[in-house]
Amino acid sequence: MTSTGAVKSWGHRLAAGVAGLGAALALAGCQLDMSGLAPPALERGAAGQVVHVVDGDTADVQLVDGPQIRVRVLGIDTPETVKPNVPVQCWGPEASQWAHQTLDGAQVRLVPDPAADDVDKFGRSLRYMTLADGTDYSVLAAGEGMAREYPSYTKPLSKSADIVAAQTNAQSRQVGLWGPPCNGRSDN
């Protein structure tokens, strides 16, 4: 097991133990203040620096005074380039290259959305990335034709309308994945 895997495993066991202790204390009529135990990635608007771009919608971020976390950017989906057992999709390499140009070394603010979970099934923090100039990465990526809206949430995300508007603009201009050779399709 890698050191990162060991830390994650230890962290999950610790969280389970603390939750169990909290439940036991609650049954005994006591309350446990667990507010200080939330991981830094869950703080509203955590700041950090992108240290590794995985693909167009996933990056590793070193939090200021905190751990390095993997972030799955909310509200968008880019064509696959690194997903196991999935061939590289049309416009995937271009979207990943654009993400590198936009995010490598960038200072970002990670912002949660009340409609989304904190983490996905792969343990990635689900956040919007706001660039240093205030630009929302999800809206920018959709507007440049590098991503499409990812509407897989039970409630609309707070930035869904902006992402859809940016995507519609990219479609009308036929840029990125909306132009040749993909013409809106990611499959090869």
| pLDDT, tens digit, 9 for 90 and up, residues 22-36 | 444 444 454 444 333
Which has more pLDDT, 14 or 87? 87
Domain boundaries, the chain: 1-37, 44-178
Asked whether residue 117 carries a pLDDT value surpassing 80, the answer given is: yes
**Catalytic positions, written as ranges:** 72, 80, 124
pLDDT, mean of residues 59-70: 96
**Topology, domain 44-178:** OB fold (Dihydrolipoamide Acetyltransferase, E2P) (2.40.50)
Cβ contacts of 170 within 8 Å, gap of 6 or more: 142, 143, 144, 145, 176, 178
Confidence of residue 188 (pLDDT cuts 50, 70, 90): low
Q: Say yes or no to pLDDT of 58 above 60.
A: yes
What are the residues whose beta carbons fall under 8 Å from the beta carbon of 58, sequence distance 6 or more? 70, 71, 72, 73, 124
Comparing 12 with 157, which gets the higher pLDDT?
A: 157
Predicted pLDDT of residue 41: 42
Distances (CA, A) of 187 to 42, 57, 93, 163, 180: 34, 17, 13, 22, 13
pLDDT of residue 153 exceeding 80, the answer is no
* Structure confidence at residue 187 as a pLDDT band (50, 70, 90): confident
Name which of 59, 144, 131, 56 is nearest 95 in CA terms.
Answer: 56
Which pLDDT score is estimated for 29? 53
73 vs 153, more confident: 73
